[in-house]
Amino acid sequence: MKKNIVLFVLFILPIVAYLFFASGINSFTKLPVITPKVADLGKWESLNGEKVSLNNKITILGFSGTEILKNRGNYFNLNEKIYQRYHDFKDLQFVVISPLGTEKEVKLVLESLGAFTDVSQWHFVFTTPSAIKSYYKQLNLKSSLGSDLGTPNVYIIDKERNLRGRKEKKDYKEGYSTFHPAELSNEMLDDFKVILYEYRAALKKNHNATKKL
């Protein structure tokens, strides 16, 4: 009897565990759409006078507000937990919508990040307070933009400009708090990996289809 129990623990249980977790991964290969087809950024320009688009890029989207220096720790958290690990991925960008007049503060934050990170995938774009409010409103989020036109939350936007997250009531997640490093390391990192898995799987499927042709 003891021998059978030992054999079960050593051989059968690991197989059962593998099948359980494998089925879980396969059933979670798509991150739900929270808001479809969010607006692009139009003519808003970055510090370098460049126009930034959400099209055909996986975008981590944020809103800095007027208190960016006060909240700069949030960007260091995001930079450390997500950006530094994935910024070499060519289809990824980090875009932060900022009020006109905060260019100097943004430059200081970028210079601080640039002391130990390649910041080429960080893009701060500038526009008016009314435009920021309108843009945030069309995201159709449950959370509100702060009175300073900012929020500690960042959002995952896919290549088709869909805002992605978790839709189940018990686990609802439309944005990820940069104030809490643990949330970035856990919920956001998990969801971001799902997005990357989606696109890698799609690329592999297209590649195989091309080879068959």
End-to-end CA distance of the chain: 57
Set out the domains of the chain in order of their start, with CATH numbers: 33-212 (3.40.30.10)
pLDDT digits (tens, 9 = 90+) for 71-116: 999 999 999 999 999 999 989 999 999 999 999 999 999 999 999 8
**pTM of this prediction?**
0.83
pLDDT digits (tens, 9 = 90+) for 140-186: 999 999 999 999 999 999 999 999 999 998 999 999 999 999 999 99
